[in-house]
Amino acid sequence: MPVVAKPADHRRSKTRPSSKPWTGLGAIVALWSAFHGLALAEQDAWPAPLATAFASAVETEADRRENWRFLADAYTVDGPLALRFDGEHLDVENGWSLVSPSMDGLTAAQRTAYAEIISPDEDEDDAGGLFLAMDAAELIGGEIQLLAETDSALTYTFTPYLGPEEMDIAIARHLIGQVSVRRDGSGLASIRLHAPERFRPHLVVRIDSFDLVMEFQRLDGLTAPVLRRLSSRIEGSAAFQDLDEVTEMTFSEVEYLGDTGRVSAND
């Protein structure tokens, strides 16, 4: 899934890759709610290129974090962090190691970001990998329309489906979804959810800025696209407290260690 770095707001900000890279799209979906498949019934009406792009997606539980090795670049308010993840060594800091800067050279903000990246989640046992997961299809709801067509990609707009709860519906009402499919047959290129303007999904919640981008790349030898970039920003306030959440991560030197054999893409 992680990137043009977007500098965080120094007033109240933190780079918080709250969805660990190995959890892929399943964790991003879980950021909002547990989905019940309500959007899946509409896939029969999807444009053929979009349906084909998702045909190779894997079931979330079929992709394990121990199947992956990669370099992750996380962007913080104090500069980038370079980390390596090795699924064959989960016994050491959950598979993570710091590449740069040195541990002694980390600022307080970078130490916090590093600790959050390597710390296990409560649902770590269910964590997936970098493959495009079927969970992502559940984001795509409403009417799908062709927005742009180039020699390399088709981009569609859709109404995001975030879940059945009142807050999910209130947020989704103000978002625009975009999904891009590569025309060379290599599958999904990106998914974006963004708010074109400020909105209030609840009396005590104000969203000034919302932008989530996930970019994918097909690697030779693998049947599904792999997450290569994750970028998100949420600014506003909730319960009268400022909200400024920034996530910036890219994944390179990706190597798949799963059952189909080792495949690498060294950038």
List Cβ neighbours of 115 (8 Å cut-off, separation of 6 or more): none
Whether this prediction's pTM lies above 0.85 is answered by no
The parts of the chain modelled with pLDDT lower than 50 are: 1-41, 261-262, 264, 266-267
Q: What are phi and psi of 220, to 5 degrees?
A: -55, 130
The Cα 24–Cα 121 span in angstroms is 14
Distance in angstroms (rounded) separating the CA atoms of residues 226 and 190 = 11
- Terminal alpha carbon distance of the chain: 15
Region of 37 (left: φ > 0; alpha: ψ -120 to 50; beta: rest) is left
Please tell me the predicted confidence (pLDDT) of residue 121: 62
Position 259 scores a pLDDT of 67
CA distance 234 to 246: 7
Place of tokens 């909105």: 199
The pLDDT of residue 26 = 39
Token output for 54: 């998702």
pLDDT at 178: 96
